[in-house]
A and B are shown apart, each in its own frame.
Chain A
């Protein structure tokens, strides 16, 4: 028996998506983060993306680690199950959840401390396994929740609010994700909703490991001069390679683009990604070039944003493991238990 989601009653004037849901149906609890925190803007973009994609909210599993960023799954998709797990371990929990039920949409939310410090290993391994998920790091370069210590993504030479200069090299999660074989890699900025929303949509519809690094200033501890994750710094140094529109088969939207600068990428599920290229020779299918491009711009102090790499033909961990189509969590004793006759045979082989 299946239940069709019934949208809550809202003001008739609110715009509805294909399933008849409004934005409100994708919201969660009221955020308890600091006013102006970049993470809240990302939450808004996730809500927008899920609304646009007409996802049934309860078919999403939201999984996070620990941190201000990891708290945010409570603030969107209130009708989805969420799991605020342990610090740095979202990737393994998500992997297990995904193995149990391949039919849900997996949204992994993490912070830069969560993914680049304590959970660097788990980040790497979930990506190299090709877990089908949208993995979003809300990257502020600090540990927000524990009051502003540097994280591993803090740039060398950047200054903390207390005036301490970071002398360690930064980890660029985008570069690592490319190297690890993520089949969808993007970077964006919490303050750039027009770029971020379609990236989230594309990451969700992408089959395989999608990774988005979203620079997300921490207004409490990392939005001052000398920080390279502040609103002002990112706005000034942002170099967008492309702008994206996601065209689902169900709801074609017309994109306004100039011929010659658009690349259309068709994904597994039929969604098409229309890329308005700002950098004419940027090719989203070339992993090596993406890595070089990234390094080149990083050396110039530029933060490259946009869709950096996508492999539309990617597969996922379930494909690698050749698991049955039916979610494993719905298999019953009759599917799983070989029974006493098989056991008798086994016993006989051990005498």
Chain B
């Protein structure tokens, strides 16, 4: 192997921890990421884990990025190789000039290493075993010991790490002091025996500001609390379970009557996804704000009910934390692959509302907004999260709530209105927006009741198989969908510095990688206007953006260019004008990938005239 000079980088590198699932490394690794934040340096961590609880490999990757690039970068500058099982692959994945950190208690043959990397050995097991007797303690503190050693190697301020440990074990003095002790065991060993710091270093900066560090699932769950959800029904599935768990935790903290201690919410773990969505629809029908959290396989099961919600016009919110499909696919890997199955869920002609948050802050806002939209539009609204946003801590702007905000409960006819003689037709479009009035069950003794059904009916909810009544109703549903275009979050456009004929459309968790890629592409001489789509149905500005460019890249994380299909289909766009950029190996999309794919395409264009001559 050719020798490479060791990487030398400040506040801009990727550390990857290779661990064994269930070894208690997760909290130490998270502590590492948080400590760097306390230095005022942004990080973007990601869990890469298998669909098993114990014994299989897991990785935790921390991208240290003073520039604030929160997408995955790709490549590893320092591997903390704690898993013998994955050693070879882990060592191979280190960038030339990178570093390998390992437990040097047992000597390893030279063939296990590479010449073009710097190897840092710390006898972790030896240190741990000479200090602790209890096997569990040994396992847990070994993680803190390597954290201590890393703090010395990266030149981190130990005080900041100690403060964090102090916050974590507040009130648990014994745990606190033993963790601090373990930290210094590792740190001191490194300082005494190794050349510290190495080429990768953390330097205090002021680039974090007031941003918070939160998982998208927790933020979305809190959005549901703020948005007034009172009923949640769900069935466990990765990567959405932690959303329901977070909703439970938030409700326990925020939604109990201070005097009676009673709950202002009801959470049911359904027997399956059919029951979960059934409960949501029953609650929505009866005037409560309700949601379920699920992933692709759950969406597949819910199809029939979603059609009922569409046709009988019942509010429902589904938070879909997408994972790689089809079938069970790669259940712990990320993708944006449920776009089509959510947009057109169920048999017959249906269309549904989708919102695409880019990060936890937007997940919070949009989750709350879903409930207003579902009530206003009386239909299912999907919050399209994915594993990358949902299950990773992401640095994002603080969550904000406008105190003056009232819930929009939509068109609900009250007993007073009925008593005053207002004409009530459950499926009557009174003002042209396609949205009829509804009544909650039990509103009035003699007026306003109706029979809800998934079969065809007239404007007064009377069963009918009359073709014209059916068609009129289907047309009204289209009108309603049109109304939705101006109610859902608008796309956000960012233009290139110089005027350009090329644009790019992207959405959801692709955002940070895309934003970073723009810089890389600019450096390569390519200018691109950007449009981040935030909802379906598409706002008219999506059409005009496409019309304003020679062609537009559509960047997404699935094989079949699902969003692009939706754009082609719904906006009647010539497919030739939309160039798909697709990333779907289950890892989060990177700026490197996007910049290369788009850059290569644009480079080719520059030589097009030559080719034309040839042909």
Contacts and interface: CB of A to CB of B under 8 A. Distances in A.
A63 interface: yes
B95 to A, nearest CB: 31
Contacts of B254: 338, 342
Interface string A319-338: 00111110011011101111
B327 interface: no
Interface string A163-199: 0000000000000000000000000000000000000
Contacts of B274: 89, 92, 122
Contacts of B233: 92, 95-96
A321 B263 contact: yes
Interface string B269-292: 011101111111111111110100
A5 to B, nearest CB: 3
Interface stretch (A34-42, A98-106, A216-224, A267-275): A98-106
B262 A322 contact: yes
B451 A73 contact: yes
B228 A333 contact: yes
A1 interface: yes
Interface string B361-402: 000000000000000000000000000000000000011111
- Which of A1, A318, A329, A333: most chain B CB closer than 10 A? A329
B35 to A, nearest CB: 13
Contacts of B277: 92
A213 to B, nearest CB: 21
A5 B447 CA distance: 10
A129 B268 contact: yes
A323 B401 CA distance: 26
Given A61-B442, A82-B451, A121 B271 contact: yes
B140 interface: no
A342 B403 CA distance: 11
Contacts of A124: 271
Contact of A99 (B231, B402, B441): B231
Contact of B212 (A99, A321, A351): A351
Contacts of A335: 264
Interface in A240-293: none
Nearest to A336: B228
Contacts of A22: none
Contact of A81 (B261, B267, B452): B452
A328 B264 contact: yes
B544 interface: no
A16 interface: no
B290 A81 contact: no
Contact of B268 (A6, A99, A322, A337): A99
Contacts of A322: 261-263
B600 interface: no
- Which of B263, B285, B405: most chain A CB closer than 10 A? B285
A313 to B, nearest CB: 21
Give the size range of B's interface with the partner.
Answer: 35 or more
Contact of B288 (A79, A100, A347): A100
Give the size range of A's interface with the partner.
Answer: 35 or more
A94 interface: yes
A350 interface: yes
Interface string B212-226: 111000000010011
Contact of B444 (A3, A93, A122): A3
B522 interface: no
A329 B446 contact: no
B445 A325 contact: no
- Which of A4, A86, A96, A332: most chain B CB closer than 10 A? A96
A183 B263 CA distance: 24
B411 to A, nearest CB: 16
Interface stretch (A52-60, A147-155, A297-305): A52-60
A331 B263 contact: no
A201 interface: no
A84 B446 contact: no
A267 B274 CA distance: 33
A124 B272 CA distance: 12
Contacts of A73: 451
A92 B305 CA distance: 11
A143 to B, nearest CB: 17
Top-6 shortest CB links A-B: A96-B282, A92-B278, A5-B445, A100-B288, A81-B441, A96-B279
Given A340-B403, A346-B399, 17 more contacts: A3-B415, A82-B449, A83-B453, A89-B274, A92-B270, A92-B275, A93-B285, A96-B278, A96-B282, A98-B282, A100-B284, A101-B286, A125-B275, A321-B268, A328-B230, A328-B283, A343-B401
